[in-house]
Structure 1
Amino acid sequence: MTEPTPDTFDSKAFLKTVPHKPGVYCMMSADNTVLYVGKAKDLKNRVSSYFRGNLVNPRIWSMVKQVRNVQITITETEAEALLLESNLIKKHNTRYNVVLRDDKSYPYIYVSDGKFPRVTFHRGARKKKGQFFGPYPSAGAVRETLGQLQKLFLARQCEDSYFSNRSRPCLQYQIKRCTAPCTNEISAEDYRESISHTVQFLQGKNEQLTDSLVSKMDEAATQLRFEQAADYRDQIEKVRLISQQQYISGGQGDVDVIALQLASGMACVQVMTIRGGNNLGSRNYFPKLPAMALQENSIMAHFIGQYYLSRTIPAKLLLSHEPDGIDVLSEMLNLKSDRKVSVTSKARGTSARWVDMATRNALHALQNQLILKDSVEKRMDALQEALSLDYIPNRMECYDISHTQGEATVASRVVFGPEGPIKSEYRRYNIEGITPGDDYAAMNQVLTRRFGKVEEDAKLPDILFIDGGKGQVSEAIKVLSSLQISGVDIVGVTKGEGRKAELDTLTIGKRRVELPHHSSALHLIQQIRDEAHRFAITGHRQRRQKARTSSPLEGIEGLGPKRRQELLKQFGGLRAITRASVEELAKVNGISRALAEKIYDRFNGE
């Protein structure tokens, strides 16, 4: 490893220190930004290939000219290097690598432990006691499956706090979506049986489940329990119907089908998820491609390496294109999953038909994305012309304020670029310390908080849209002037009379501008404004709901959940607590006199 120099990089001196071993290299710019991450079986040979002048691709050479330092990490095997490469690409979001933008973990179905287990949606770390099934390709796929489970096995899906405080069955019991174990409408043994059937269904053991239900039906009929036998019969019919809809003919086990389409510098990768022989749905990804041209094989290799960093690896991968270094990729997957993973791009029979279907779907999604991109580019050109700009905007931010008569004021920031919304840059701001309902003060606060941060100076918008008229625009100009920020065009967007979109007007400085209702530029501005409004009002409603449903006891320092529960239990409710004296409060187990005084002051202080 060498130290960076201000203007040049002595590649010859550096290459003398690079060993002939597997590992990972990071190309660094003058400001220590990671430009590119790569892996190699032989670091010396691979890194040397970048510094041969005209012998390399011109686009690659444009990157190499920015390099001021190269950091290397030696690994034991090429497979370990591939795994480290994928981690570093995701960490640094490098400019010249294929980057998979996917910050959310896949959703699962979670079956908890306990006397009456709960079946529910789960996303995040799988550390709870119980069983997890998935991953599913989307939240919609999980909810659809949960709906089927409710109809089939009537297992509870309610929160534990809700479950433990029921005195009579809820609506789910009345509409036959739950057996109401909360009020002992079903025995623990029978409920465990329904959970067992649920688990079998989620594991894809539908034949075994059907055999079990048939046996139960016959047993109930023999004992003349015909109503119960009819219930088992209905379950069998539903299981078979769902199996026919989901089951992949000839397919068994856990499989991911990955198909890639590439056109006009954009790639679409569709991942079809199959678990236990059941098709759980598919999802499209549009990885960010580097400036340098890449073939499908290379993109497929980069995608798989990053995709399985934080996901469960199935037993088999069916691919539309053979990835570069398939042997190393297979070894990496085996290493990470600690078992043999089959990776093939030469599927036959039914498997080939599924790859073909995923490929067609990926092409359709890519075509739609290209049409959308073309539409956005045309609207950006129209915006440049409509606002008389001498540039095409690269970053646009819009701010909106939402509240209900001054209550729970929330400001939103949405960000748009040449390719549309940049949701990772969205932000919400809780507004405090202003006169309720003062939108000007709220706008002043959010803009001061946003542009007062030094670390965000590198991401100044070209255009700042404000949901409002002359007053809000003046407030924005005042804030940016006080912070000595220039070069940002400020545009106010005022709703038309009767909230008619075609009557919307723009405020630019002291000018009022009206664009034709059919203007592409106006449509783009309205899309950005409406997105900011949606994002703000969603945050406001969440904050308002939280404020209305939280207990006044929650804000008292030192009064945790257990002590709050003990207080409520001893006094029978919040009203009695508000009327209690310090001495009465201090008698409760775990409540010291000092804490009792805090509780008393909360309800009886000035």
Structure 2
Amino acid sequence: MENRDDKIKNILSSLPESPGVYQYFDETGTIIYVGKAKNLKRRVSSYFNKQHDSPKTRILVRKIVEIKYIVVKTEEDALHLENSLIKELQPRYNVMLKDDKTYPWIVIKNEPFPRIFQTRNMIRDGSQYFGPYSNIHMVRTILELLRKLYPLRTCKLFLSPENIRQNKFKVCLQYHIKNCKGPCEALQTEQEYNEYIVNSRRILKGEINQIRDLLQQEMMECATELRFEDAQKTKEKLELIENYQAKTVVVSPSIHNTDVFSYLEEENIIYINYLHVSNGSISQAYTFELKRKLDEPKEELLSLAIVEMRNRFNSRARDIIVPFYPDIEMENITFSIPQRGDKRKLFELSEQNVRQYKVDRMKQAEKLNPEQRTIRILSTLQKDLQLHELPLHIECFDNSNIQGTSPVAACVVFKKAKPAKKDYRHFNVKTVEGPDDFASMREIVYRRYKRLLEEEALLPNLIVIDGGKGQLHAACDSLQELNIYGRIPIIGIAKRLEEIYYPEDSVPLYLDKNSESLKLIQQLRDEAHRFGITFHRKKRSLKQVVSELDAIEGIGEKTKTALLSHFKSVKRIKSSSLEELSDLIGKSKAEKLYKGLHP
């Protein structure tokens, strides 16, 4: 019996050097991968003749026991066939299009006196479909415009010539309010009705300028023939067209029948935005996701997206704007990467849409799973600061002394990127005389982690010091004295340019001003500053209160407590009358207090 390796070698030796689609089968006979190739022999052989970096690709190759292929004429045909086979068979290792929505179409129904309406179901009965539209508001806007321009019927009656001749139907309310001309009672000819349909079809195709020119010509003819009432009605239709066009034109009117693709990649998820432009108007806009299964290059993924979107939206555009060139040549198609001008602006609009789509998807996912946002932010911080582990526990230190008085310090703790206020700590600086920020930082960092080590508590995953290189080195001295330097990552953040300093690197790190990593570090720094300043003010206030009341003879601790509990502050005690003070602490003490506060 022929073993698997010999069988594969025989298949490879007989593969043709022509475009085609190949299919890989596992031992159960299940298709596990479908691919396209400009040269089948070269492409398929590459899977077995070289070492692959991707573990998933290596697993795929080990599982292949059978190879089948389909030869086609061109590489473009191979791409179309690959796309349809992937959608039909959904092989395990292929890129999958994440798309669970059914988008609306506008249909011109194949029937006598055709109706025009919105639908999500495409029926192959000869009707003409336009779309699909990713924005339901656009569908409603277009249908509203058509109904105002042309009084088309909305009923579901079968208006065959025979039924109309036999007087089977009666006009409805829509006729009486002038939204329909009553073809059901032969009050409107089929020829006139079909002219409305022809013009409606032009609008749906994006041929707004032609309709506008026809209306302008009709208005001038009515005015020349002194049919001013008809001229006014035509003018109103022209204004409707121009208002609609003003809402839809977002690029240069010179850009016609063009497809635009933009590409955004994040790990194994690829976001691609598609725009179709006709006569300067964006008639289609759609963003979707691809999930990379193997190590497919971005050029191949873009090719797959181009074929999928053009098939779905039935695009025949010959000009395609792309972020980079795909790995396919398409007959009578020109790919371009614009660097300036109107096409560049159009491409930037597509890029804006794909970025917004990614943000929206991320927000939706984070609403369902709030932990996901936290992990994403901390993972980004870990990557930006090159940490060995996820910084789930972060501590930040700040000194506070105003004019050299009452030196204090603060330590704030964030767990899972959120303030853990029960773990916040205040410090009175004990060993430092005068305003010495470096010595103060050295003392409080030492005291903090000496205490944690004694209590055998968990140490943080990251320490942040509010200050530049000086404060950072002082903190590192304390960690070295405790023999834990190197066990805990530590950084300093300077206020001037928000630069990040590492202990043994003189060159600072500058994070993007809008990055979530920098915002989290700034939040830590600002919270430590707020917490320290609050404690410092409280201490100064208490010191001021104690000094003023302690200087008055005969006012003891109980009296001070009673006064502050009642009046809340020394200022209010000073502004109180002798009678008010006497009612609270007695006449004798009140007189001493009053004289002491008002010498």
Give 1:34's aligned residue. 31
Q: Counterpart of 2:180 in 1: which secondary structure?
A: coil
- In structure 2, stretches of 5+ residues that fail to align are 374-599
- Is 1:270 the equivalent of 2:267? no
Q: Distance in 2 between matches of 1:16 and 1:80?
A: 24
Any conservation in 2 of the 1:105–1:310 contact (CA below 8 Å)? no
- TM-score, normalised via structure 2 length: 0.54
Structure 2 counterpart of 1:238, which letter?
Answer: L
Q: Counterpart of 2:33 in 1: which secondary structure?
A: strand
Any conservation in 2 of the 1:258–1:271 contact (CA below 8 Å)? yes
1:118 to 111, 115, 140: 115
Query: How far did 1:3 drift?
Result: 8.8
Give 2:493's aligned residue. none
Q: Counterpart of 1:227 in 2: which secondary structure?
A: helix
Any conservation in 1 of the 2:175–2:181 contact (CA below 8 Å)? yes
Deviations 1:258-284 (A, max 9, x none): 222111321221222333443224122
Q: Counterpart of 1:65 in 2: which secondary structure?
A: helix
2:354 to 354, 362, 375: 362
- Is 1:283 the equivalent of 2:275? no
Any conservation in 1 of the 2:151–2:180 contact (CA below 8 Å)? yes
Bigger drift between 277-286 and 361-370 goes to: 277-286
Indicate how the Cα distance of structure 1 residues 272 and 376 shifts in structure 2: closer, same or farther if over 3 A, else same. Answer: same
Deviations 1:278-327 (A, max 9, x none): 3224122112321x344432321122233334541322343342243232
Any conservation in 1 of the 2:113–2:159 contact (CA below 8 Å)? no
Give 1:520's aligned residue. none
Query: How far did 1:380 drift?
Result: 9.8
Q: Distance in 1 between matches of 2:365 and 2:132?
A: 30
- Is 1:87 the equivalent of 2:90? no
Query: How far did 1:32 drift?
Result: 1.8
1:250 to 253, 257, 269: 253
Query: How far did 1:137 drift?
Result: 4.1
Any conservation in 2 of the 1:297–1:321 contact (CA below 8 Å)? no
Indicate how the Cα distance of structure 1 residues 4 and 346 shifts in structure 2: closer, same or farther if over 3 A, else same. Answer: farther
Q: Counterpart of 2:138 in 1: which secondary structure?
A: helix
- Is 1:167 the equivalent of 2:170? yes
Query: How far did 1:90 drift?
Result: 1.6
Q: Distance in 2 between matches of 1:71 and 1:177?
A: 59
Structure 1 counterpart of 2:320, which letter?
Answer: L
Any conservation in 2 of the 1:250–1:350 contact (CA below 8 Å)? no
Map 1:335-414; keep pairs closer than 5 Å: 340-346=332-338, 348-376=340-368
Q: Distance in 1 between matches of 2:98 and 2:159?
A: 37
Any conservation in 2 of the 1:116–1:188 contact (CA below 8 Å)? yes
Bigger Rg, which one: 2
Structure 2 counterpart of 1:32, which letter?
Answer: G
Q: Counterpart of 1:44 in 2: which secondary structure?
A: helix
Query: How far did 1:376 drift?
Result: 4.2
- Is 1:315 the equivalent of 2:312? no
Question: How many corresponding residue pairs?
Answer: 367
Give 2:59's aligned residue. 62
2:46 to 34, 45, 49: 49
Q: Counterpart of 1:54 in 2: which secondary structure?
A: coil
2:69 to 69, 72, 79: 72
Q: Distance in 2 between matches of 1:3 and 1:346?
A: 55
Any conservation in 1 of the 2:254–2:280 contact (CA below 8 Å)? yes
Any conservation in 1 of the 2:276–2:284 contact (CA below 8 Å)? yes
- RMSD of equivalent CA atoms: 3.5
Q: Distance in 1 between matches of 2:126 and 2:317?
A: 24
Q: Counterpart of 2:143 in 1: which secondary structure?
A: helix
Structure 1 counterpart of 2:23, which letter?
Answer: C
Deviations 1:115-159 (A, max 9, x none): 633223355667545655445445553333111111122222332
Indicate how the Cα distance of structure 1 residues 3 and 351 shifts in structure 2: closer, same or farther if over 3 A, else same. Answer: farther
Give 2:219's aligned residue. 217
Query: How far did 1:372 drift?
Result: 3.1
Give 1:260's aligned residue. 263
Give 1:22's aligned residue. 19
Identity %: 27
Query: How far did 1:67 drift?
Result: 1.7
2:206 to 187, 204, 207: 204
Structure 1 counterpart of 2:256, which letter?
Answer: G
Indicate how the Cα distance of structure 1 residues 44 and 50 shifts in structure 2: closer, same or farther if over 3 A, else same. Answer: same
Query: How far did 1:341 drift?
Result: 3.0
- Is 1:153 the equivalent of 2:150? yes
Structure 1 counterpart of 2:341, which letter?
Answer: G
Give 1:503's aligned residue. none
Q: Distance in 1 between matches of 2:188 and 2:73?
A: 58
Indicate how the Cα distance of structure 1 residues 153 and 52 shifts in structure 2: closer, same or farther if over 3 A, else same. Answer: same
Query: How far did 1:379 drift?
Result: 7.3
Deviations 1:17-45 (A, max 9, x none): 33333322212122222221112233222
Any conservation in 1 of the 2:54–2:295 contact (CA below 8 Å)? no
Query: How far did 1:93 drift?
Result: 0.9
